[in-house]
Amino acid sequence: MIELVIADDQSLIRMALRNLYQGEDDIHVAAEAEDGREAWEVVRRIRPDVALLDIRMPGLDGLEVLRRIGKDPSLAGTRVVMITTFEIDEYIFEALAGGAAGFIMKDAPPEDLLRAVRLAAAGDSLLSPDVTRKVIDAYAERGTGGARPHPNLGDLTEREQEILRWVATGLSNDEIGERLFISPATVRTHVGKLLAKLGARDRAGLVAIAYRSGLDIPET
């Protein structure tokens, strides 16, 4: 059973999310929070498998809660999915670098909202197509002169570089495996090596590295 905490300052959004997740046999909504401070207190107390956090909340915003979770060794098992209306700005990149396990739009289809939580709980991640596209567009607007290749990119094998580019599309291990005709377990092994070689805290951190390095990201 996936223990889930939902944090959003809009009561209607919380109610909609609660109703969605409570209808699933494998997900238990352990608690809700209406602002960042309450979210942090609830997460520390419950230590859920997944915390679904709005980026912008009063008190503490979702990014600060994410940072605190990342710094607390007792919360190493808690994965964070950011939920947002998404205005493209530095917040998205900060959250990626901070180890968010995924991003999902508030108006995403129910199946995507469910999938984001399940993937996070399983150690995978999800970037919704809308979010991924806006991240790509934002980097394109900055121009290639802004690319900052990671110093360890040269240590990657050709296959690892290929996997890194596909990870940056926001696809899951299963989806990457289908496109490359390899098993999800093999993809997972490569992702583990990428995390170690590039010093990324989380899979989503690999996405940030790929875009910052100016890699050629495949079309999905």
End residue of a domain, out of 81, 108, 136: 136
114 and 87 belong to one structural domain: yes
130 and 153 belong to one structural domain: no
Entry pTM: 0.71
The DSSP call for residue 9 is S
pLDDT of residue 155: 95
Buried b (16+ CB within 10 A) or exposed e, 7-45: bbbeeeebebbeebbeeeeebebbbbbbbbebbbebbee
The more confident residue out of 123 and 24 is 24
93 and 27 belong to one structural domain: yes
Residue 21 has pLDDT above 80, yes or no: yes
End residue of a domain, out of 136, 164, 182: 136
Of the segments 21-35, 124-138, 200-214, which one has the largest average pLDDT value? 21-35
CA distance 86 to 106: 9
Give the CATH number for residue 202: 1.10.10.10
Give domain status of residue 219, yes or no.
Answer: no
Least confidently predicted of 10-14, 165-169, 201-205? 201-205
Mean pLDDT score, 137-154 = 67
Residue 8 has pLDDT above 90, yes or no: yes
| Domain carrying residue 184 | 148-212
Give domain status of residue 142, yes or no.
Answer: no
* Residue carrying the six token digits 């100016």: 214
